[in-house]
Structure 1
Protein backbone atom coordinates (compact mmCIF):
# COMPACT_ATOMS: atom_id res chain seq x y z
CA UNK A 1 0.00 0.00 0.00
CA UNK A 2 1.39 3.41 -0.96
CA UNK A 3 1.55 6.43 1.33
CA UNK A 4 -1.15 8.09 -0.77
CA UNK A 5 -3.51 5.12 -0.27
CA UNK A 6 -2.84 5.06 3.47
CA UNK A 7 -3.52 8.80 3.77
CA UNK A 8 -6.69 8.48 1.72
CA UNK A 9 -8.02 6.04 4.31
CA UNK A 10 -7.02 8.03 7.38
CA UNK A 11 -9.93 9.30 9.46
CA UNK A 12 -8.82 12.93 9.30
CA UNK A 13 -8.74 12.87 5.48
CA UNK A 14 -12.41 11.84 5.24
CA UNK A 15 -14.87 14.57 4.24
CA UNK A 16 -17.70 12.49 5.70
CA UNK A 17 -16.01 12.50 9.12
CA UNK A 18 -15.37 16.25 8.98
CA UNK A 19 -19.07 16.80 8.21
CA UNK A 20 -20.17 14.31 10.88
CA UNK A 21 -17.98 15.74 13.64
CA UNK A 22 -18.92 19.33 12.73
CA UNK A 23 -22.60 18.33 12.87
CA UNK A 24 -22.09 16.82 16.35
CA UNK A 25 -20.56 20.12 17.53
CA UNK A 26 -23.33 22.11 15.84
CA UNK A 27 -26.03 19.95 17.46
CA UNK A 28 -24.45 20.51 20.88
CA UNK A 29 -24.44 24.27 20.33
CA UNK A 30 -28.05 24.30 19.13
CA UNK A 31 -29.18 22.06 22.00
CA UNK A 32 -28.06 24.75 24.43
CA UNK A 33 -29.58 27.61 22.43
CA UNK A 34 -32.87 25.85 21.74
CA UNK A 35 -33.37 24.59 25.29
CA UNK A 36 -34.63 28.05 26.24
CA UNK A 37 -37.26 27.80 23.49
CA UNK A 38 -38.31 24.27 24.40
CA UNK A 39 -37.43 23.00 20.92
CA UNK A 40 -35.26 20.22 19.58
CA UNK A 41 -33.12 20.91 16.53
CA UNK A 42 -35.48 19.07 14.11
CA UNK A 43 -38.45 20.96 15.60
CA UNK A 44 -36.54 24.22 15.13
CA UNK A 45 -36.06 23.37 11.44
CA UNK A 46 -39.81 22.87 11.04
CA UNK A 47 -40.45 26.18 12.76
CA UNK A 48 -37.93 27.92 10.48
CA UNK A 49 -39.84 26.66 7.43
CA UNK A 50 -43.14 27.90 8.86
CA UNK A 51 -41.74 31.25 10.02
CA UNK A 52 -40.50 31.77 6.48
CA UNK A 53 -43.83 30.83 4.93
CA UNK A 54 -46.80 29.85 7.08
CA UNK A 55 -49.66 27.65 5.84
CA UNK A 56 -47.66 24.84 4.27
CA UNK A 57 -48.63 21.25 3.52
CA UNK A 58 -46.85 18.42 5.30
CA UNK A 59 -45.38 17.29 1.97
CA UNK A 60 -44.04 20.80 1.22
CA UNK A 61 -42.33 20.93 4.63
CA UNK A 62 -40.91 17.45 4.09
CA UNK A 63 -39.52 18.38 0.67
CA UNK A 64 -37.83 21.48 2.01
CA UNK A 65 -36.28 19.62 4.96
CA UNK A 66 -35.52 16.40 3.05
CA UNK A 67 -37.66 14.42 5.52
CA UNK A 68 -40.23 11.73 4.76
CA UNK A 69 -43.68 11.87 6.35
CA UNK A 70 -42.83 9.02 8.76
CA UNK A 71 -40.11 11.21 10.26
CA UNK A 72 -41.93 14.51 9.96
CA UNK A 73 -45.33 13.52 11.35
CA UNK A 74 -44.09 12.80 14.92
CA UNK A 75 -42.27 16.16 14.92
CA UNK A 76 -45.44 17.93 13.86
CA UNK A 77 -47.51 16.10 16.46
CA UNK A 78 -45.13 17.21 19.24
CA UNK A 79 -45.20 20.80 17.99
CA UNK A 80 -48.98 20.66 17.84
CA UNK A 81 -49.13 19.30 21.39
CA UNK A 82 -46.94 22.23 22.46
CA UNK A 83 -49.53 24.50 20.79
CA UNK A 84 -47.02 25.95 18.33
CA UNK A 85 -48.87 24.82 15.21
CA UNK A 86 -52.08 23.19 14.04
CA UNK A 87 -52.63 20.50 11.42
CA UNK A 88 -55.80 20.15 9.38
CA UNK A 89 -56.93 18.18 6.37
CA UNK A 90 -57.18 20.37 3.29
CA UNK A 91 -60.69 21.28 2.14
CA UNK A 92 -59.58 21.06 -1.50
CA UNK A 93 -57.79 17.70 -1.21
CA UNK A 94 -58.46 15.57 1.85
CA UNK A 95 -55.25 13.57 1.22
CA UNK A 96 -53.26 16.74 1.99
CA UNK A 97 -52.60 17.90 5.54
CA UNK A 98 -52.02 21.64 5.97
CA UNK A 99 -49.89 23.07 8.76
CA UNK A 100 -50.30 26.54 10.24
CA UNK A 101 -48.56 28.36 13.07
CA UNK A 102 -50.58 29.28 16.13
CA UNK A 103 -50.20 32.66 17.83
CA UNK A 104 -47.82 30.99 20.27
CA UNK A 105 -45.78 29.60 17.37
CA UNK A 106 -45.59 33.01 15.71
CA UNK A 107 -44.55 34.63 19.01
CA UNK A 108 -41.68 32.15 19.38
CA UNK A 109 -40.13 33.69 16.25
CA UNK A 110 -39.03 36.78 18.19
CA UNK A 111 -37.43 34.65 20.92
CA UNK A 112 -35.47 32.71 18.27
CA UNK A 113 -34.20 35.83 16.49
CA UNK A 114 -30.84 35.83 18.30
CA UNK A 115 -29.95 32.22 17.45
CA UNK A 116 -28.29 32.78 14.03
CA UNK A 117 -26.02 35.48 15.44
CA UNK A 118 -25.12 33.27 18.43
CA UNK A 119 -24.14 30.47 16.05
CA UNK A 120 -22.02 32.84 13.96
CA UNK A 121 -20.28 34.12 17.10
CA UNK A 122 -19.63 30.61 18.39
CA UNK A 123 -18.11 29.59 15.05
CA UNK A 124 -15.55 32.42 15.13
CA UNK A 125 -16.24 32.84 11.41
CA UNK A 126 -17.26 36.02 9.67
CA UNK A 127 -20.76 36.20 8.20
CA UNK A 128 -19.14 35.98 4.75
CA UNK A 129 -17.22 32.82 5.71
CA UNK A 130 -20.42 31.27 7.11
CA UNK A 131 -22.32 32.13 3.92
CA UNK A 132 -19.55 30.67 1.75
CA UNK A 133 -19.44 27.46 3.77
CA UNK A 134 -23.24 27.16 3.63
CA UNK A 135 -23.23 27.67 -0.14
CA UNK A 136 -20.51 25.04 -0.60
CA UNK A 137 -22.49 22.54 1.49
CA UNK A 138 -25.66 23.23 -0.51
CA UNK A 139 -23.68 22.60 -3.70
CA UNK A 140 -22.26 19.36 -2.27
CA UNK A 141 -25.75 18.16 -1.33
CA UNK A 142 -27.06 18.94 -4.82
CA UNK A 143 -24.14 17.14 -6.46
CA UNK A 144 -24.45 14.08 -4.23
CA UNK A 145 -28.19 14.02 -4.80
CA UNK A 146 -27.78 13.99 -8.57
CA UNK A 147 -25.45 10.96 -8.66
Structure 2
Protein backbone atom coordinates (compact mmCIF):
# COMPACT_ATOMS: atom_id res chain seq x y z
CA UNK A 1 0.00 0.00 0.00
CA UNK A 2 1.49 3.28 -1.10
CA UNK A 3 -0.63 5.22 1.40
CA UNK A 4 0.68 3.07 4.22
CA UNK A 5 4.31 3.64 3.27
CA UNK A 6 3.75 7.40 2.95
CA UNK A 7 2.11 7.49 6.38
CA UNK A 8 5.01 5.59 7.93
CA UNK A 9 7.54 7.90 6.27
CA UNK A 10 5.63 10.94 7.56
CA UNK A 11 5.56 9.47 11.07
CA UNK A 12 9.29 8.80 11.00
CA UNK A 13 9.89 12.35 9.79
CA UNK A 14 8.14 13.63 12.91
CA UNK A 15 5.05 14.97 11.16
CA UNK A 16 1.75 14.74 13.01
CA UNK A 17 -0.46 14.47 9.91
CA UNK A 18 0.36 10.81 9.30
CA UNK A 19 -2.43 9.38 11.47
CA UNK A 20 -5.28 10.59 9.29
CA UNK A 21 -3.60 9.27 6.15
CA UNK A 22 -2.91 5.94 7.85
CA UNK A 23 -6.45 5.34 9.12
CA UNK A 24 -7.63 3.27 6.11
CA UNK A 25 -4.54 1.06 6.32
CA UNK A 26 -4.94 0.64 10.08
CA UNK A 27 -8.60 -0.33 9.69
CA UNK A 28 -7.65 -2.77 6.93
CA UNK A 29 -5.02 -4.42 9.16
CA UNK A 30 -7.42 -4.58 12.11
CA UNK A 31 -9.94 -6.37 9.91
CA UNK A 32 -7.32 -8.87 8.80
CA UNK A 33 -5.92 -9.24 12.33
CA UNK A 34 -2.51 -8.69 10.77
CA UNK A 35 -0.53 -8.66 14.00
CA UNK A 36 2.77 -7.67 12.47
CA UNK A 37 1.27 -4.60 10.83
CA UNK A 38 -0.68 -3.69 13.97
CA UNK A 39 2.54 -3.97 15.96
CA UNK A 40 4.19 -1.57 13.53
CA UNK A 41 1.34 0.94 13.98
CA UNK A 42 1.63 0.67 17.78
CA UNK A 43 5.35 1.43 17.60
CA UNK A 44 4.59 4.50 15.46
CA UNK A 45 1.91 5.64 17.91
CA UNK A 46 4.32 5.20 20.84
CA UNK A 47 7.00 7.27 19.11
CA UNK A 48 4.54 9.96 17.99
CA UNK A 49 2.87 10.27 21.39
CA UNK A 50 6.25 10.49 23.12
CA UNK A 51 7.43 13.18 20.72
CA UNK A 52 4.29 15.25 21.38
CA UNK A 53 4.42 14.73 25.14
CA UNK A 54 1.19 12.71 25.07
CA UNK A 55 1.20 10.35 28.05
CA UNK A 56 -0.48 7.62 25.99
CA UNK A 57 2.96 6.66 24.70
CA UNK A 58 3.31 4.44 27.78
CA UNK A 59 0.15 2.52 26.84
CA UNK A 60 1.49 1.92 23.34
CA UNK A 61 4.89 0.85 24.72
CA UNK A 62 3.22 -1.60 27.13
CA UNK A 63 1.10 -3.10 24.36
CA UNK A 64 4.11 -3.39 22.06
CA UNK A 65 6.22 -5.09 24.73
CA UNK A 66 3.38 -7.52 25.42
CA UNK A 67 3.10 -8.38 21.72
CA UNK A 68 6.87 -8.68 21.30
CA UNK A 69 6.91 -11.32 24.05
CA UNK A 70 4.46 -13.46 22.07
CA UNK A 71 5.56 -15.88 19.38
CA UNK A 72 9.02 -14.36 18.93
CA UNK A 73 7.67 -11.10 17.54
CA UNK A 74 10.75 -9.33 18.91
CA UNK A 75 12.88 -10.91 16.20
CA UNK A 76 10.21 -10.14 13.62
CA UNK A 77 10.33 -6.43 14.42
CA UNK A 78 14.13 -6.41 14.32
CA UNK A 79 14.29 -8.28 11.03
CA UNK A 80 11.44 -6.65 9.11
CA UNK A 81 11.40 -3.15 10.58
CA UNK A 82 14.95 -2.27 11.69
CA UNK A 83 14.38 1.51 11.60
CA UNK A 84 11.26 1.26 13.74
CA UNK A 85 12.93 -1.28 16.01
CA UNK A 86 15.89 1.04 16.48
CA UNK A 87 13.72 3.99 17.46
CA UNK A 88 11.43 1.89 19.65
CA UNK A 89 14.26 0.26 21.61
CA UNK A 90 16.16 3.55 21.89
CA UNK A 91 13.04 5.12 23.41
CA UNK A 92 12.80 2.21 25.86
CA UNK A 93 16.44 2.67 26.92
CA UNK A 94 15.98 6.41 27.17
CA UNK A 95 12.99 5.97 29.47
CA UNK A 96 14.45 3.05 31.43
CA UNK A 97 11.83 0.58 30.19
CA UNK A 98 12.57 -3.09 29.43
CA UNK A 99 16.31 -2.54 29.43
CA UNK A 100 16.98 -6.29 29.50
CA UNK A 101 15.30 -6.51 26.09
CA UNK A 102 16.26 -3.13 24.66
CA UNK A 103 20.03 -3.28 25.06
CA UNK A 104 20.48 -6.66 23.29
CA UNK A 105 18.06 -5.57 20.56
CA UNK A 106 20.05 -2.41 19.88
CA UNK A 107 23.29 -4.40 19.99
CA UNK A 108 21.80 -6.82 17.46
CA UNK A 109 21.07 -3.84 15.22
CA UNK A 110 24.78 -3.02 15.42
CA UNK A 111 24.80 -0.17 17.90
CA UNK A 112 27.75 0.20 20.20
CA UNK A 113 27.61 1.51 23.74
CA UNK A 114 29.09 4.78 22.48
CA UNK A 115 26.12 5.25 20.18
CA UNK A 116 23.70 4.31 22.94
CA UNK A 117 25.15 7.19 24.96
CA UNK A 118 23.79 9.51 22.27
CA UNK A 119 20.20 8.29 22.15
CA UNK A 120 18.92 11.54 20.74
CA UNK A 121 20.43 10.46 17.41
CA UNK A 122 18.47 7.22 17.46
CA UNK A 123 15.29 8.96 18.60
CA UNK A 124 15.39 11.41 15.73
CA UNK A 125 13.33 14.52 16.36
CA UNK A 126 12.01 13.59 19.81
CA UNK A 127 11.84 16.65 22.06
CA UNK A 128 14.19 16.78 25.02
CA UNK A 129 11.57 16.88 27.76
CA UNK A 130 11.84 13.46 29.35
CA UNK A 131 14.58 11.55 31.12
CA UNK A 132 16.44 11.58 27.82
CA UNK A 133 17.84 15.02 28.69
Q: Same fold (TM over 0.5)?
A: no
Q: Greater share of helix residues, 1 or 2? A: 2
Normalised by the length of structure 2, the TM-score is 0.30
Rg (Cα) greater in structure: 1
Q: Greater share of strand residues, 1 or 2? A: 1
Normalised by the length of structure 1, the TM-score is 0.28
